[in-house]
Amino acid sequence: MTQHLHNRLRQLQGLVTIDAWHEGQPQSGRVDLHAYVYFDEARLGGQVGDEIAFRLQLKRAELKLLQSEPKSFSIDPATIWRGDEDASGKTTYTTETGGSRSADGRVKLTISPSPELELTGGGKISTQEVYKSETTIDKSTKTILVSFSRNDRDQPTWILKPDRGSPRLDDISLLNGQPWDDKKQSLLNLDVNSKHESQEMLSALRLCLICRREDLHFYDIKARKLGQDFQLIPDASPKRIIVQEYLRDALISEGLHAGDMNSPFSIIYLGEAVSEQRRPNAYE
């Protein structure tokens, strides 16, 4: 079981968490694709034998769906989740409560307001008051903004950027938390090629979390000499290059593509998940 999970899920520990699954029966012709994604701060190095210790967070990332050959499914464009970049701003909801006021000034609230209220002594009054309550939801406090891109029709991509509510460090906005509710939001529907068995389809569904080299934010970098404690090093220290080398080795050890750490636009794979079949609402 452990070997299965290691082969199905690869991720840079601490920085990203990713899982993927499809709901529905492939034999029936259509499945829904879901993904759990979470961003956090990674603390790397600092172990026995390490000469470097540092923290790492992301400024931007992409979630990309990749297919293997032969393609065992097709994407229904109408079902692709387009993200929520239009969800910023404020929405106000107004609720009204009706009530009647008696001659002595007392108020009786009613669920279904009536224009008349029986008073002591047989008198009636037809005065009605309406109380309005406004609730404002500020959607601008969302921490991660999700937008959609599809440069390749077979490789839909969701772009993840910090939103207004994201944490900031060194005047830089960073990805932190879960960008969507994986239990409620599916990414898309897939039409399954009936010529392929479900096992073949499983290997074809792969979601990858990627970034560019410039999207990585290293900080709190410390180094030590043999037998000494870790100490912060200045920005101009040549030892900072060790950080990139350490990260590259960590990615390779997880079976992930590290890219060229010296190129700002080099693509780095931070995590990937091969989808597995699950029952609806069966989240483990």
Question: pLDDT digits over 155-187, tens only?
Answer: 899 999 999 889 999 899 999 999 999 988 999
Phi, psi of 241 (to 5 degrees): -65, -25
Listed as ranges, residues in the chain with pLDDT below 70 are 1-6, 26-28, 69-70, 85-141, 153-154, 194-204, 280-284
Q: pLDDT value at position 70?
A: 65
Residue 260 CA to its chain's centroid (Å): 26
CA atoms of 97 and 102, how far apart (whole Å): 17
Instruction: Encode pLDDT of 70-103 as tens digits.
Output: 677 788 888 999 998 545 445 444 445 454 444 5
pTM of the model: 0.74
Q: pLDDT value at position 203?
A: 56
Contact 243, 233 (CB under 8 A): no
